[in-house]
Structure 1
Amino acid sequence: MDFIIWVFTNIGMGFVNLFYVIFNPSAWLDWSDKTAMVRFIYYGASKELFFVIFDIFLVMTVVGAFYRKFLWAVVRGFEAFANTVGRFFAWASLFMVLQQIMIVFLQRIFKVAEISISPFGYAFTRDLSWYGEELKFYNALIVCLAASYTFVQGGHVRVDLFYAGMRHRAKRVVDMFGSLFFIIPFMTIIWMFGWFFMWRHLVTPKVSVADSLELLERKARLLKWNVETIGFSPNGFDAYFLFKILLISFAGMMFIQGLTFFWRSMLEFIEGEASAGKYQQLDESNDETAEIAAAAH
């Protein structure tokens, strides 16, 4: 009973907090005030933020159930966003290959030790080992920022024992269940721990998921930027804080896609089998087997 009261209390407070952050942006966006900055850090992975998002989700779901054109527009918008971001950062694979070829030629044939790039008159000089380790960053870009795109395209791996043989509405029920109880919870956990993991490498003193708001506010007067620039080798890639930002980006985009997939499944459940795959922007493929597999899902 106490848990139910706690849930409904936080749902109600979610609306209060939503209006508060809208009408009091300086309380969390004015980073010249270190107290506002620690509030941003704390609330960025808090139950308060979760229930604000949950309230928005509830409102949009209820409204969308009655005004399906509105919810279809939301689904199309989020899927278009995932597709656009994924298609753009998929080009990182080409840059990764070209850079690897360049490194091999310069290091093995021309015996070059470093590369200088001078756009707009500013010289950016790094050792070849820096560019070699940077390849991992390209790979992380593809994995983190194209994951939701892959999900939209149906390119993720599934172990299918029963799903393909189910009827349309049964599939949609399974999809809604998977969104609510697998995608969204797991992405929430990754976000909550990844958020503080990221900030631990951006500011000092270190912050932790276990820190209370009161403790963080006491730390505020000592707070300062301390961006991690330590590499695994003396001349290696030294911007590993970007990987932490990518982790958060991955969790955020997949969380949004989890909500989007729930709404799509709900709408397809309501409208029937004729709406399956409605408005989906799928890439064309010459792989007939892959297309059949995607259609089955």
Structure 2
Amino acid sequence: MIDFILWVLQNIALAPYHLFLAITNPAAWLDWSNPESLVRFIYYGGSVEFFFVVFTTFLVITALGMAWKREILWACVRGLEWFANGIGRIVSWSGLLMVLQQVMIVFLQRIFRVAEIQLGPLGTAFVQDLSWWGEELKLYNALVVTLCVSYTFVQGGHVRVDLVYSAVKFRTKRMIDMVGSIIFMMPAIVLTYLYAWFFMWRHLVVPNPSASAELDRMLMQARVLRWNVETIGFSPNGFNAYFLFKILLVAYCVLVFLHAMSFFWRSYLEWLEGEESEGKYLDRDVMGDEAEDLEHAIHSGST
């Protein structure tokens, strides 16, 4: 146990040094024309060093907000919630686009007997079979699920089972939120990210990177590393860009982790400032109908 604690403290102490190296040597991991730089990006994206850089940043911001100025934490909360809302409000239009495209496919296939759709923006020609466009509808659904997750959290739209939570006092609720974000939300999404990161790269490059490989071994493999983007569909003329789903899975993990930090900070600040701070700076969508807004507030637990 002591060895583990010392290992954690050592990595926290080295985190600023690793961050400084990454910032001052961007070509070492961002110059993807060099296979060794790409290998370093792949390795460090799922490494212990990267985890402790993120974790230490979270600890430093939290400590500054608790010990010095709580406005620092409120600024982080407002910024992260604005980011989540901004992405969600834009990506949520994918649902409408999905419906319109499905209607178009049905009309073209059943009424006009068209076999393919050709788009030619800016003089280019993009031609795909109707089955390709039909399978591509999954991408819109994936966009909504992965990129609107933190937006839905901010808006209070996730399903809640509040058998205990609804019966306790305000400060107890905030304590439950803080413990939940630290003990459950963050560890779960970190494990998901580690799987998703290497799962994504195994469908983008060969030889396939391994989560257990050391950096030296991966640098040796850089000599034969090449791009091999997955373009295999489930049907001969079907959608062939399933690698996008792997990228969206990584984006999902990043958004959830960022909001886990934001949720912890908001819960702490509301616990500290009392009930009058509940929903402070919270930017939630308004339906325009008082009955619908009240029903949404009840279901989201904000009233």
Q: How far apart, in 1, do the equivalents of 2:197 and 2:63 lie? A: 30
Q: Is the 8 A contact 1:205 1:223 kept in 2?
A: yes
**Number of the residue aligned with 2:296:** 290
C-alpha distance after superposition, 1:14-65 (max 9, x if no partner):
1211111111212211222211210110010111111000110011001111
Q: How far apart, in 2, do the equivalents of 1:175 and 1:229 lie? A: 42
Question: Where in structure 2 are the equivalents of 1:139-178 lying within 5 Å?
Answer: 139-178=141-180
Q: How far apart, in 2, do the equivalents of 1:171 and 1:291 lie? A: 17
Question: Where in structure 2 are the equivalents of 1:37-76 lying within 5 Å?
Answer: 37-65=38-66, 66-76=68-78
Q: How far apart, in 1, do the equivalents of 2:135 and 2:167 lie? A: 46
**Number of the residue aligned with 2:243:** 241
**Number of the residue aligned with 2:107:** 105
Q: Please state how far the C-alpha of 1:172 moved relative to its aligned partner.
A: 0.9
What's the TM-score once normalised by structure 1's chain length? 0.97
Question: Where in structure 2 are the equivalents of 1:1-297 lying within 5 Å?
Answer: 1-65=2-66, 66-285=68-287, 286=289, 287=292, 288-296=294-302
Q: How far apart, in 2, do the equivalents of 1:156 and 1:46 lie? A: 31
Aligned amino acid, residue 156 of structure 1: H
Higher mean alpha-carbon deviation, 247-256 vs 30-39, is at: 30-39
What's the TM-score once normalised by structure 2's chain length? 0.96
C-alpha distance after superposition, 1:82-104 (max 9, x if no partner):
00100101000001000000010
Aligned amino acid, residue 28 of structure 2: A
Aligned amino acid, residue 297 of structure 2: E
Q: How far apart, in 2, do the equivalents of 1:245 and 1:71 lie? A: 30
Aligned amino acid, residue 265 of structure 1: S
Which SS does the other structure have where 1:126 is aligned? strand
Distance of aligned partners of 1:296 and 1:281 in 2 relative to their CA distance in 1, 3 Å threshold:
closer
Q: Is the 8 A contact 1:197 1:208 kept in 2?
A: no
Aligned amino acid, residue 104 of structure 2: M
Q: How far apart, in 1, do the equivalents of 2:279 and 2:80 lie? A: 15
Aligned length: 297
Q: How far apart, in 2, do the equivalents of 1:36 and 1:82 lie? A: 30
Aligned amino acid, residue 240 of structure 1: Y
Q: How far apart, in 1, do the equivalents of 2:31 and 2:143 lie? A: 30
Q: Please state how far the C-alpha of 1:290 moved relative to its aligned partner.
A: 2.6
Q: How far apart, in 2, do the equivalents of 1:41 and 1:221 lie? A: 15
Which SS does the other structure have where 2:15 is aligned? helix
Backbone CA RMSD of aligned residues: 1.1
Q: Please state how far the C-alpha of 1:182 moved relative to its aligned partner.
A: 1.1
Q: How far apart, in 2, do the equivalents of 1:212 and 1:154 lie? A: 42
